[in-house]
Amino acid sequence: MARITESLRKSPGWMLLPLRLFLGFTFTFAGLQKLANPGFFNASNPASIEAQIRAYQLRSPIHLLLGIASHAPVVFGLIIALGELAVGVGVLLGVFTRLAALGGIMISFMLFLAVSFHSHPYYIGSDIVFVFAWTPLLIFGDGQVASLEANVKRKLGIIAPLGTTVGIDFGTITRVCGHHEAGRCRANGRAICQVASCPVLNGFIELGQPRSQRAATPVYDPERRRFLVRAGTVGVAGGTAVVLGTLSAGIGRILYQAPKALSDSLASSTSSTQDPPPTTSPATTAAPGASAPATTSAPTTGGPPPKGTAVGPATAVPVGQVASFTDPASGEPAYVLHPSTAKFVAFSAICPHAGCTVQYAGSDRFVCPCHGSAFNALTGAVLNGPAATGLTPIPIAEGSNGQLYVDG
């Protein structure tokens, strides 16, 4: 046991291996998950990068930066996904581990400021934990353990394999031994300092000889092949990332079923938000546990038009289904449900805990991916925290033309 402890103490690379594997796998998975999900790049999806940027912009201390990113959300989303993938693959393979750790810290800190800055208590937000989890790898790197870069360097002789004798000039030894003084050796009774009697070298006399006379001792030139090693290892890591990313994106697009978005239906609808047809007033019911009443309505046949903005046809949300739309009042992503004939309920998709976008999880539940809060999809009420309040209801009504109108 003492031996194992001593070996671990001498080689931080082994001690850091579990942390490195966890962080590498997590960031690789996070990047691939984004690339594999077409909804991430589809603006009409409430979980899209565009919807998330819009939502985070409202509360984040870096809202100015997010405002810039909101002009090119797909590019921003791609940078995040590919950045996570590059960091994850680099750390897993042991290629530029310190640089990858720095990238991990930057991505985590940016996510902390954008997403989990308002998490309360602060330690519930995972991003700040990731920031600090990366620091040991930033300081120690991979310790040349399970490292592609280190293995290639060993193969090419840029770093010496364990147990290899490396030539060091005798002059260097006299400078660092601590006993050398004015050409004499204090450790050897102030005898003339020479290789043959050097107590530090302890018999490695060959090292003090001129290079041409030495036995075949490997000589390592770190500069000689550095470019080749870097290009090669980056090529392997980059190629791995490209293959993984391409496979994920392809498989994701084959398997993924995008949730319905009302805005898609609205685009092809013939109705106009400027000229809604006549309707009767919608009926209103309270949403237990939610912060304000939600509105439901029955299809109408006459009377004044409903107030508000058309967000899409009611037929796009069959009974028992859910669809997404953008709340015209706030610009936030939102969901509308059709629990029974002629009844619609709508809620903001923004989690009241720290602003993540909730997702419909079936069984009449919305679940927040950030810290696991769950909400009743019919009322918006909290089923479990850490969110303390329910989802914000959005008054919605169906007009006589079959369009759904949001009061905003």
Q: What is the nearest approach in angstroms of ligand FES to the Cβ of residue 52?
A: 11
Interface residue with ligand FES among 277, 364, 371, 400 (CB under 6 A) is: 371
Non-local (6+) Cβ contacts of 399 within 8 A are 276, 277, 279, 300, 305, 306, 310, 405
Site size toward ligand FES, by CB under 6 A: 11
Interface residue with ligand FES among 57, 174, 348, 373 (CB under 6 A) is: 373
Q: What is the nearest approach in angstroms of ligand FES to the Cβ of residue 67?
A: 21
Q: Does residue 259 have a cis bond before it (omega within 30 degrees)?
A: no
Contacts of ligand FES in 200-259 (CB under 6 A): none
Q: What are phi and psi of 202, to 5 degrees?
A: 50, 45
Non-local (6+) Cβ contacts of 83 within 8 A are 31, 103, 107
163: left (phi over 0), alpha (psi -120 to 50) or beta: left
Which of 150, 368 has the CB closer to ligand FES?
Answer: 368
Handedness of CA 234, 237, 243, 248 (dihedral sign): negative
Using CA atoms, how far apart are residues 404 and 260, in angstroms rounded to an integer? 15
Interface residue with ligand FES among 278, 299, 386, 402 (CB under 6 A) is: 386
Q: What is the nearest approach in angstroms of ligand FES to the Cβ of residue 291?
A: 15
Interface residue with ligand FES among 30, 173, 336, 370 (CB under 6 A) is: 370
**Residue 238: both structure tokens together:** 């980059």
Interface residue with ligand FES among 87, 131, 316, 356 (CB under 6 A) is: 356
Contact 391, 292 (CB under 8 A): no
Which of 259, 355 has the CB closer to ligand FES?
Answer: 355
Which of 305, 386 has the CB closer to ligand FES?
Answer: 386
Using CA atoms, how far apart are residues 207 and 209, in angstroms rounded to an integer? 6
Contacts of ligand FES in 326-355 (CB under 6 A): 351, 353-355
Residue whose structure tokens are 């280190």: 150
Interface residue with ligand FES among 158, 368, 377, 378 (CB under 6 A) is: 368
Using CA atoms, how far apart are residues 86 and 19, in angstroms rounded to an integer? 17
Which of 111, 207 has the CB closer to ligand FES?
Answer: 111
Which of 249, 354 has the CB closer to ligand FES?
Answer: 354
Using CA atoms, how far apart are residues 67 and 306, in angstroms rounded to an integer? 33
Which of 193, 356 has the CB closer to ligand FES?
Answer: 356
Q: What is the nearest approach in angstroms of ligand FES to the Cβ of residue 70?
A: 20
Contact 353, 375 (CB under 8 A): no
Q: What is the nearest approach in angstroms of ligand FES to the Cβ of residue 59?
A: 11
- Which residues are at the interface with ligand FES (CB under 6 A)? 351, 353-356, 368, 370-371, 373, 386-387
